[in-house]
A and B are shown apart, each in its own frame.
Chain A
Amino acid sequence: MLETEKIFLEEKARIIRKHIISMLGEAGSGHPGGSLSAADIVAALFFHHMNIDPARPHWEHRDRFILSKGHAAPVLYAALAEAGFFDTKELKYLRKTGHMLQGHPDMKSTPGVEISTGSLGQGLAVGNGMALAAKLDGRDYRVFVLMGDGEIQEGMIWEAAMAAAHYKLDNLVGILDYNGLQIDGPITQVMNPEPIVDKWKAFGWHVIVIDGHDFEEIISALEQADRIEGKPTLILAKTIKGKGVSFMENQVDWHGKAPSKEEMELALKELSQGEVLERWETLK
Chain B
Amino acid sequence: MGNPEIKMKATRDAYGEKLAELGEKYEDIVVLDADLAKSTKTILFGKKFPKRFFDMGIAEQNMVGTAAGLALSGKIPFASTFAVFATGRVYDQLRMSVCYPKVNVKIAATHSGLTVGEDGASHQALEDIALARALPNMTVVVPCDAVETEKVVEFAVEYVGPMYIRLGRSKVPVILDPGYKFRLGKGVVLREGKDVSIIATGIMVAKSLEAAEVLAQKGIDAEVINMSSIKPLDKELILESASKTGGVVTVEEHSIIGGLGSAVCEVLSENLPVPVERVGVKDVFGESGSAEELLEKYGLSINDIAAAAERIILRRQK
Contacts and interface: CB of A to CB of B under 8 A. Distances in A.
B269 interface: no
A2 interface: no
A118 interface: yes
B67 interface: yes
B300 to A, nearest CB: 35
A129 B69 contact: yes
B52 A136 contact: yes
Q: Interface residues of B: mostly helix, strand, loop or mixed? A: helix
Interface stretch (B91-99, B217-225, B226-234): B91-99
Contact of B54 (A108, A116, A126, A132): A132
Given A117-B96, A119-B96, A125 B64 contact: yes
Contacts of B70: 129-130, 132-133
A115 B103 CA distance: 9
A126 B64 CA distance: 8
Interface string A237-256: 00000000000000000000
A128 B68 CA distance: 9
Contact of B65 (A128, A137, A162): A128
Interface string B77-116: 1000000000000001101110011110000000000000
Interface residues of A, number: 34
A266 interface: no
Contact of A163 (B62, B68, B96): B62
Contact of A115 (B57, B77, B97): B97
A154 to B, nearest CB: 9
A10 interface: no
Given A106-B100, A129-B73, A163-B56, A136 B67 contact: no
Contacts of A159: 57, 59, 61-62
Interface in A123-142: 123-134, 136-137
Interface in B47-75: 51-52, 54, 56-57, 59, 61-75
Nearest to B64: A125
Contacts of B54: 132, 167
Contacts of A129: 65-73, 75, 77
A122 interface: yes
B156 interface: no
B30 interface: yes
Interface string A154-165: 011001101100
Nearest to B30: A136
Contacts of A40: none
Given A115-B101, A116-B97, A136-B51, A156 B72 contact: no
B138 to A, nearest CB: 15
A234 B57 CA distance: 22
A114 interface: yes
A107 interface: yes
Contact of B61 (A108, A127, A130, A156): A156
Contacts of B93: 122, 125, 156
Contact of A118 (B63, B72, B77, B96): B96
A258 B4 CA distance: 71
- Which has the most chain A C-beta neighbours within 10 Å: B51, B59, B66? B66
Contacts of A130: 69-70, 72-73
A129 B32 CA distance: 11
A108 B70 CA distance: 17
Contacts of A134: 73
A229 interface: no
Contacts of B75: 129, 133, 136
Contacts of B65: 122-126, 128-129, 156, 160
Nearest to A166: B57
Contacts of B73: 129-130, 133-134, 137
Given A106-B100, A121-B61, 11 more contacts: A115-B69, A115-B97, A115-B101, A116-B100, A123-B65, A126-B66, A126-B97, A129-B77, A132-B69, A132-B70, A137-B73
